[in-house]
Amino acid sequence: MNFKIVTRKLSPYGYIAPAMAIFILFLFFPFFKTIYLSLFKTNKMGQAKLFAGAGNYSELLSSASFFNSLFVTVVFVLIVVSVSMLLGLITAVLCNQSFPGIRIFSTAYALPMAIASSSAAMIFKIMLHPAIGIVNKILGLHINWISDPRYALICVALLTAWLNSGINFLYFSAGLSNIDEVIYERASVDGANRFQKFFRLTLPRLSPILFYTLVVNIIQAFQSFGQVKVLTMGGPGESTNLIVYSIYRDAFFNYRFGSAAAQSVILFVIILVLTLCMFRLEKKGVHY
């Protein structure tokens, strides 16, 4: 009898054991290993050899290249989040109606989420080519978009925003479908126009989806890598050297795994602090 009771109490842990094993192997172990490596100088194989304490962090905080990387990343995140959310919201509102071909438009707007960032970047690279690119042909210009420091970051950010707009479209479409049409009918009776309905009725009822989408988009934007690797490789100069690409370059080109690990920890702290701040502000701007 006692054995059955013990088995019954332990059986739930048996069900979650496989999932916990995967989390430990692929999430918790790399996380703590990164923190560990950030405190050491490593060899070219990534093995900790010399304890440096906070040396890697102090070196980063005195590096102009690292602060440039942070600045570039912040600008990149601002462009990506604002443009991708705006695109997702506009397309969702446009498709929140009944008209012939609605499914074709909905599929087209959601399509970017199914495209790999590296594949999209390769196509985008051809489109922006200074000689044969369709962008210069249409605009009648001769700009080398991704080789010019003035435009490279904007180009990468706009590509990333378009890639993220697909999932945003789905989020906002789901939110709009849950809004009761009765409130719009009552507003029409009261003489409200489309803009008043959108800003006074639609946006407040979309606030939970807006908040969730904002958090997800910020995290995704900070982790962008493939499009930078294919399009610019952090250049020209360091104009697109996002912190994720800086981590990659330090680890796999310069073999400075300790410095790369320290940058990873700093990036984790930045995202954590931003997320906590947004959740603190959630109660003021989100209406359930």
Each residue's pLDDT tens digit in the chain (288 positions)? 566 777 777 888 888 889 999 999 999 999 999 999 999 999 888 888 889 988 999 999 999 999 999 999 999 999 999 999 999 999 999 888 877 778 888 888 999 988 888 899 999 999 998 888 999 999 988 899 999 999 999 999 999 999 999 999 999 999 998 888 888 888 888 888 888 888 888 888 898 899 999 999 999 999 999 999 999 999 888 899 999 999 999 999 889 999 999 999 999 999 999 999 988 887 776 766
For the four alpha carbons of 69, 237, 230 and 123, in that order, the dihedral sign comes to: positive
* Amino acid in the structure at residue 201: L
pTM (2 decimals)?
0.91
User: What is the pLDDT, as a whole number, of residue 239?
Assistant: 92
Q: 229, 244 in Cβ contact below 8 A?
A: no
User: What is the pLDDT, as a whole number, of residue 282?
Assistant: 76
Range list of H helices, 117-256:
117-127, 134-139, 152-177, 181-189, 194-197, 203-222, 226-231, 243-252
User: What is the pLDDT, as a whole number, of residue 152?
Assistant: 94
Q: 85, 167 in Cβ contact below 8 A?
A: no
